[in-house]
Chain A
Amino acid sequence: MRVCLESYARRIVRNEMARDVERLVVALHVNGERTELLLPVHKTLLEVLREDMQLTGTKHGCELGECGTCTVLVEGKPELSCLVLPVQVEGRAITTIEGMASGSELHPLQQAFAELGAAQCGYCTPGILLAAKSLLESNATPSRDEIREALAGNLCRCTGYSKIVDAIELAGGRMK
């Protein structure tokens, strides 16, 4: 659906200057909530989550699909939100870090990461937690090598990865 700028609420677009940008209304299902947004077609899911939906828990390290930091889950599978356009995931269930805990109760992975010091600066943590969640949902008792392989696309500069692998093992054990 092609729309022009004037036909939608000025509140949404007040900062978008009158440029020749194609815009679309996209309905996103994020963390169980449905939201309709008017978006420039080229804006990435990463940018939309952070800037239009204030879901700043999703971080970015390169915006080129190289570091894994911006990982979110689409229908339970890890996707790099910096390489995804919202139209590609319209109507599909998207999970961000904000949707991982149940209310104030941490997901077992979050609990294990906190307990074992698997988050140092914490910047890569949301992406790694989501990738790990996806892993444990398809393989409840991964070996350490399987964990390393599943997370090979997520870089971390602080931890040396050891405590992350420990925490995923611990959480997997607790979730059995």
Chain B
Amino acid sequence: MTAIAERFTGPLATPKRVGVAGVLLGIAAFWIALPPVHERSLVVPALLAAVGVAAGIYAAAKGSVRAGWGAIVIGALGVALAYLATRSSVDNLQIVFTWSSLIAAMFVFATPLVYGSLGGIFSERSGVVNIGIEGMMLMGAFWGIWGADVTGSWITGVLIGMAAGALMGLIHAFLSIQLRADQIIGGVAINLLALGITGYAFVQIYGDENISAGVSEIPRLNLSFLDSVPPDSLGNFLYGAFGRLSVMIWIGFVLVVVTHFVLFKTPIGLRLRACGEHPRAADTVGISVYGVRYAAVTLSGALAAAGGAFLSVGVISSFNENMTGGRGFIALAAVIFGNWRPFGAFGAACLFGFSAALAFRLGNAYSGSVPGLDVVAQTLPYVITLIVVAGVIGKSIPPAAVGKPYTKQ
């Protein structure tokens, strides 16, 4: 409580706040060069960015290194991107930066990552490294659409997909908890196995054809009241961004809040985190470390699979071999970037989703004039994660006992 009180009674311009303001100015420098503002001269963005960088230097010198350097880097990036934007044609900018649909696309790209990273958080917080998120997601993608196809309902489809993912989670749990196998090896095995199983079953069941059209899809939640929010432009924006999102995207939002609450506000969460931080201590006070870890890893498989099912049942209504294409690993990166916290991982997933959505649009708009721009944007999640694990932007600290098999005494 005192910490919160200090936050409000302390001086207004703490170094950290100056740094954050610098970061915002750097973003603003880029933003005003984009639709709908369309600043076509570089003077204003350069001024904004210069103030941002100055704020960053001040913050870094006063001891808030992270925010300060963030402001310096983002200020420099902001002015560079603004320069590119002023050089680019207004038409192309409008294709790429239609904010409402860009945000809606961001949520579509981010949602599989959100589910996957929540799964990763449960597993890793309980002390089990889960490299197999990718494979569990792929299982969810195939068995989800298969279930929706066979039962004719997307709900049972997603549930069947989640069950398949949970089964993989159970195998991983057995290997890493009971057999104390290397958890990385177990995860690699899960990924290879899932690739083989889904590919085999897909060819066996569907042959050369794909899943027939008309499979039950995950419905969108139509919030038409958003459209009538005044003023008109805001209403249009809100409706475009949030008005037609899939039900599973909204469930994802809810799950982030629920996961945060369960992990940090309930006894169950405390027990789970204890198993990941100091299993011996947890065992001493009567917590079943094995039981908690089994539950967490199985749950993690089900959650990751739900993300995969969203991809197949919710987005493209069909299946391709290896269709998750590394999203499980990006989800894992989101876990690390988000410092093993649900809201942090959600933010990271949105950032990665945004860069994926942007890459997609950049590819459409600039494929002729600037080859490779879309590809550069595709690598963004991976580069950011490398920088994060290298500790350049703040250190992320994993649970103390993660990856270490526990032996009962």
Q: Does A associate with B in a complex?
A: no
Which residues from chain A sit less than 8 Å from chain B, CB to CB? none
